[in-house]
Amino acid sequence: MDLTDINIIHQLLDKYALTPTKSKGQNFLIDRGALAEVMAAAELTPDDAVLEIGPGLGVLTRELAATAKTVLSVEVDAPAVRALRHTLADLANVEVLQADILKLKNQEISDRLGGPYQLVANLPYNITGRVLRKFLSYPPRPTSVTLMVQKEVAERLTALPGKMSILAVAAQVYGTVELVAVVSRQSFYPAPEVDSAIVHLAGFGQDRLNLKGVDEQRFWQLVKIGFSSRRKQLQNNLSAGLKMTKDAVKEHLIAAGLDPQIRAQDLSIDDWLRLAKKF
């Protein structure tokens, strides 16, 4: 069964009363070249356990199962689950779980997969940000993350100082982030309104944090306060958020080697780490 064939997709949609909707972020991958690029980026081995989110009709799931030891595919939509139980019926190493991924604890996912796991998914656009925050912020984190996301999100994740955001800081402080390839909107059915991109994030094991001795809670407190008003200078945000005088904040910024007039989006990861040590 070729799940990239639009005729087969239509047959399955009709059979299981599935209607792809923008609100559910359902866009099925029909480009085998893009599928191969996702798999190459993930670099799976026969010993790997994989979490997949929003498997759709199972086109990526089948590729994952052909390489990985075990695959947990989490799908919230009941008709899609019924379709998946048909399209994946011959795969003994795949578990289809009907659940809201945002309500599943990371520990429960790790337990179901028997320990460390990788996240590989063609993410529904409408939950991309929340999924990233969930898996970047709470342990046990995936050891690596390979995702198809909106091109704009991929660019935010890989941003450089001058265009940084909390999302970019979250990704880059815990590991490495690479924009692997841009994928045309025509690679999906139905075609979304924007292009996508494959991103690969590595180094997210709990023992591989890049915080370099900085208190994690304090670090995130500063980052969130720093980005609380993007148009304001960092010293103004920190002064208001930490209830410190501007002069005291300015001294800390200078001690960290930073221009007192700098804005949060201009700081690198190393800048944030140095600053956290001063506070």
Assess if residue 1 is contained within a domain: no
For residues 141 and 253, state if they share a domain. Answer: no
Write out the residue range of the structural domain in which residue 176 sits: 6-208
Examine the domain organization and report whether 95 and 129 are in the same domain. yes
Q: 208, 240, 261 — which closes off a domain?
A: 208
For 140-160, the pLDDT digits (tens) are: 989 999 999 999 999 999 999
DSSP string, 79-126: HHHHHHHHHTTT-TTEEEEES-GGGS-HHHHHHHHTS--EEEEE--GG
- 116 and 140 Cβ atoms separated by less than 8 Å: yes
- Give residue-wise pLDDT tens across range 157-198: 999 999 999 999 988 988 889 999 999 999 999 999 999 999
Are 200 and 224 in a shared domain? no
* pLDDT classification of 206: cutoffs 50, 70, 90: very low
CB 127 within 8 A of CB 27: no
Shared-domain flag, residues 98 and 233 = no
The two beta strands, 118-122 and 49-53, are: parallel
Last residue of a domain, one of 191, 208, 225: 208
Judged by DSSP in three states, 196 sits in strand
CB distance 191 to 185 below 8 Å? yes
CATH number of the domain within which 253 lies: 1.10.8.100
238 and 164 belong to one structural domain: no
pTM reported for the whole predicted model:
0.91
Here the tokens at position 130 are 């929340």
Q: CB neighbours of 176 closer than 8 A, spacing ≥ 6?
A: 201, 202, 203
3-state SS class at 278: helix
19, 129: one domain: yes
3 state SS of 73: strand
Q: What tokens does 251 get?
A: 């001294």
